[in-house]
Structure 1
Amino acid sequence: MNGELDQTQARPNEIDTDERAVRDVIFREINAFFSRDFESWQDCYLHSDRLRSVMMSHDLGLDVRQGWADHVEGVRLHFESTTPHDSTWEKNIEQVEIRGDVAWLICRARNNSSLCMMGESYETIILERHHGKWKIVCCDVLASRSYRNRDRRIAVDAEGSIVGLDERSEQYLRQHPAFTIRRGRLRAVDSTVDRELQAAIGRAGALHGYFEQVAFARFEGQRFAYPIVLERTDGDGHEVVMLTVEDRLTYLDFSTSEATTARIDISATIFSLSDNQQRIVQGVIAGKSLPRIAACLGISPSTAKTHLQRVYQKTGTSTMTALVRTLLSVG
């Protein structure tokens, strides 16, 4: 394998044979990768300094490998640190183009394992024919995060239909007194809340495209995030469901996240909240009632109420629900 392309051109009646051979390389590579069959895996690649692989994923960031030595080093480490298993990917080759001794493919794959951090991948793969055999010379992979690894998060598409719901999230949702699943869509039991929820999902769905998100962030000064505030049926505080957009999906987050904490910090700066007022706000955001907040902070309920009233004045709100929505709408 000297990296020199064959100069012979494929005849028209050889195209189908070439396409089958190219597809065979792609599926041999992925099966060998998951079974940790190094010899079969390495046989699918061109061993040349021209080999290039690019992996971009939400969780792991960007990884660029230039040349066979660099590429194989990373894969060897992966093989040595993991155990063989059946492929959990469903790969669909959407387009194949062959010109002489060069072939390029566009693939889309979906992972079916709850243990994998990646959900879908979008791949562009280039192969060259060397000494009669097709070899991978370039592979670019863009991978989205798997919604299956997100506890108490629900993914819906642009039309509002649920497309991501793991077992734990489903159990949590079915036990939730304020929500229900109706005809494959998430609905709120209270009609007023449901109208707000459906409007927010529709607004988020209009931002699923990359350029739509860029335009929104440029105009608003922040990425899309919308809080739905629910009064608890037991009267003890409230609950927040945060809507965000990511990987062309809308996520409904029922749990407190790092993003929520960051928004509290930003709100404290914007509204000039004191340390004591910020502690009250943190309790409010966490869904605690004022008596519980006072008990947690070791202060009297009247002192907690005084702090809360001052927060209301600074934020221009008068209820906990309005306060939570205001505080979480920044950042």
Structure 2
Amino acid sequence: MTHHSSINGCLSADETAIQDVILSETSTFSEGDFEGWKACWLPHESTHIVYVSENAGLCVLRGWTEACKHMQHVFETKLQCNNTHYDKYDMAISIDDNSAIVTFDSTATGAEGIFTDTYETRFMRKTPQGWKIAHSNVIVKVRKQSSVASLAVDRSGHVIWTNEATREKLTSHPVFSISSGRLRANRLAWDKVLQSALKNASLYHGHFEMTRFIEQNDGPFRCPVVLGETDEGCVAVVCLNVRDSATYVQFDLDDVVERKLAIAQTVFGLSEGQTNVARHVASGQGLKCIANELGISVNTVRTHLTRIYEKTGVNSQTALVRLLLSVA
């Protein structure tokens, strides 16, 4: 396991000691060293451990008795995170006599390729045995398979996070690239659509804006953006998701397409063959590629498309993808 941290400026003796405790708590947890982990904490009933994540919701361990018992079970059953690399950055330490508040961002990559991004807070107390953690808040922002191609942009449209799968994909992507720190489409008209969509998504980066959006739309902001049809007959499309005060751009839409197709097949009465063609069109494939994938002729693909157009009321692949991805 590797572990790195960053903090601005020179550290005082207390700041160094505090940082060492925080890093030790993480490393002993990952290594399965329960006694080492326990030594980082204040053994008092005012001690709390709080976890918040989208998947698991809220978990609060109230008091050292409950926290210690629960965490001992975690260590004994080896339930702790199987992470191989940690980074803590933007760490800020504020000390007042024998108390301190520490905030930082943290990222971790697991052996299974799962990427985790968290915002964390520690309340520290200075004891005769040194600085101890009295309260811990861990808020999980992102926990995704790092093999899924996606990136995140901030309110101004600048890329603030990518994974290796995305970087590899963008080196030879026929439609998208990163230029001057921003995601761009390679055609001016398409780029205008993309930038407009990113700007619109940024309106919901705030907590209260997103809360109101969810109340009015029965779910968080999720918007497919269809740019147009390429020279090869493929449809250029991405999906925008807003969470954690950022817009996430997803390039691989297979999961989105499958959910939408299941609804569209029923709504429009698509046959199995028509649904298969629509699936490949929505995934950005051209007619020849679709024919090869399905083992049929290009003319048969065109026939299926004609029937799909008649049933859905659209007359182009671009319009079809836009319709399919907008199905509720």
Q: Same fold (TM over 0.5)?
A: yes
**8 Å CA contact retained: 1:227, 1:329:** no
**1:25: how far off?**
3.9
**Cα distance in structure 2, aligned partners of 1:19 and 1:296:** 60
Give CA-to-partner distance per residue, 1:95-146, whole Å, 9 cap, x none: 4566xx7x46351222265867454322233455667755434322102226
Residue identity over aligned pairs, in percent, reads 30
Which runs of no fewer than 5 residues in structure 1 stay unpaired?
A: 1-15
**8 Å CA contact retained: 1:229, 1:324:** no
Residue 309, structure 1, aligned to residue 306, structure 2: yes
Deviates more, 1:89-98 or 1:238-247: 89-98
Q: In structure 2, what is the equivalent of residue 202 of structure 1?
A: 199
Alignment of 1:52-63 (within 5 A): 52-58=48-54, 63=59
Residue 70, structure 1, aligned to residue 66, structure 2: no
Q: In structure 2, what is the equivalent of residue 238 of structure 1?
A: 235
Aligned length: 311
Residue 254, structure 1, aligned to residue 251, structure 2: yes
**8 Å CA contact retained: 2:222, 2:239:** no
**8 Å CA contact retained: 1:34, 1:87:** no
Q: In structure 2, what is the equivalent of residue 89 of structure 1?
A: 88
Match of 1:268 among 265, 268, 273: 265
**8 Å CA contact retained: 1:147, 1:164:** no
Cα distance change, pair 114–75 in 1 and its aligned pair in 2 (3 A): closer
**8 Å CA contact retained: 1:32, 1:38:** yes
Residue 319, structure 1, aligned to residue 316, structure 2: yes
Alignment of 1:170-209 (within 5 A): 170-209=167-206
AA aligned to 1:219 is Q
Deviates more, 1:119-128 or 1:250-259: 119-128
AA aligned to 1:92 is M
Q: Which has the higher strand share?
A: 2
**8 Å CA contact retained: 1:56, 1:141:** yes
**8 Å CA contact retained: 1:204, 1:250:** yes
Q: In structure 2, what is the equivalent of residue 8 of structure 1?
A: none
TM-score by length of 2: 0.76
Deviates more, 1:71-80 or 1:196-205: 71-80
Cα distance change, pair 63–189 in 1 and its aligned pair in 2 (3 A): same
Alignment of 1:59-138 (within 5 A): 63-65=59-61, 67=66, 68-78=68-78, 88-90=87-89, 92-95=91-94, 103=99, 105-111=101-107, 113=109, 117-127=114-124, 134-138=131-135
Query: What SS does structure 1 have at the residue aligned with 2:199?
Result: helix
AA aligned to 1:111 is T
Give CA-to-partner distance per residue, 1:216-267, whole Å, 9 cap, x none: 333344432222344233x243343222223222222222332231122233
Cα distance change, pair 171–290 in 1 and its aligned pair in 2 (3 A): closer
Give CA-to-partner distance per residue, 1:278-323, whole Å, 9 cap, x none: 2332122123334554565566655544443343234332100011
Cα distance change, pair 131–264 in 1 and its aligned pair in 2 (3 A): same
**8 Å CA contact retained: 1:125, 1:136:** yes
**8 Å CA contact retained: 2:125, 2:131:** yes
Deviates more, 1:283-292 or 1:297-306: 297-306
**1:197: how far off?**
0.7
Alignment root-mean-square deviation, CA:
3.7
**8 Å CA contact retained: 1:65, 1:71:** no
Q: In structure 2, what is the equivalent of residue 10 of structure 1?
A: none
**8 Å CA contact retained: 1:53, 1:140:** yes
**Cα distance in structure 1, aligned partners of 2:250 and 2:77:** 35
AA aligned to 1:105 is I
**Cα distance in structure 2, aligned partners of 1:196 and 1:263:** 22
Give CA-to-partner distance per residue, 1:147-166, whole Å, 9 cap, x none: 78243222221211112233
**8 Å CA contact retained: 2:175, 2:186:** yes
**Cα distance in structure 1, aligned partners of 2:73 and 2:57:** 18
Deviates more, 1:165-174 or 1:291-300: 291-300
Q: In structure 1, what is the equivalent of residue 210 of structure 2?
A: 213
Q: In structure 2, what is the equivalent of residue 154 of structure 1?
A: 151
**8 Å CA contact retained: 2:51, 2:60:** yes
Q: Which has the larger radius of gyration?
A: 1
